[in-house]
Chains A and B, each alone.
Chain A
Amino acid sequence: MKSLTFTRCMFWFGILFLYLPMVVLIIYSFNAGRNVQVWAGFSTHWYAEVLRDRQLIAALWRSLRVAFFSATAAMLLGLLASIAIIRMKRFRGRGLLSGMVTAPLVMPDVIIGVSLLMLFVSLQQAIGWPAGRGLNTVFIAHTTFCVAYSTVVISSRLRELDESLEEAAQDLGATPVATFFLVTLPIIWPALLSAWLLSFTLSLDDVVIASFVTGPGATTLPIEVFSSVRLGVSPKINALATMIILAVSLVAFTSWYVTRRIDIRNRRLQVQYLKEAE
Chain B
Amino acid sequence: MSDTAAAQPSEIRTRQRVKKDAMMSIEQVSKEFDGTYAVDSVSLEIYSGEIFALLGASGSGKSTLLRMLAGFEQPTSGRIRLDGEDLTGMPPYKRPINMMFQSYALFPHMTVEQNLAFGLRQDRLPRHEIKSRVARMLDMVQMSKYARRKPHQLSGGQRQRVALARSLAKQPKMLLLDEPMGALDKKLRTRMQLEVVDILESVGVTCVMVTHDQEEAMTMADRIAIMDEGRIEQIGSPIDVYESPKNRMVAEFIGSVNIIPAHIEADEEDHMVLSAADLPVPIYIGHGVSSGIDDRDMLFAIRPEKTILCTEKPDGEYNWAQGTVSDIAYLGGHSVYHVRLDSGLVVQTVLANTERRTPRPTWEDVVWVSWDSDSGVVLRN
Contact = CB atoms under 8 A, between A and B. Distances in A.
B98 A171 contact: yes
Given A167-B92, A167-B105, A186-B109, A173 B170 contact: yes
B93 A168 contact: no
B149 A273 contact: yes
Interface residues of B, number: 28
B279 interface: no
Contacts of B109: 186-187
A173 B122 contact: yes
Interface in A152-191: 162, 164-165, 167-176, 178, 182-183, 186-187
Binding site secondary structure of chain A: helix
Contacts of A167: 70, 72, 92, 99, 101, 105
Contact of A172 (B119, B149, B155): B119
B312 interface: no
Given A171-B92, A174-B93, A277-B155, A165 B122 contact: no
B122 A164 contact: no
A172 B103 contact: no
A186 B111 CA distance: 13
Contacts of A269: 153
Nearest to B122: A173
Contact of A171 (B99, B102, B106, B149): B99
Please classify how large the interface on chain A is, using the bins under 10, 10 to 19, 20 to 34, 35 or more: 20 to 34
A173 B153 contact: no
A175 B93 contact: yes
Contact of A187 (B101, B108, B119, B122): B108
Nearest to B108: A187
Given A172-B118, A187-B109, A164 B93 contact: no
B105 A273 contact: no
Interface in B83-114: 91-94, 97-99, 101-103, 105-109
Interface of B: 70-72, 91-94, 97-99, 101-103, 105-109, 118-119, 122-123, 149, 153, 155, 166-167, 170
Given A170-B93, A172-B170, A182-B118, 8 more contacts: A168-B106, A169-B107, A170-B92, A173-B122, A173-B123, A176-B93, A183-B107, A187-B108
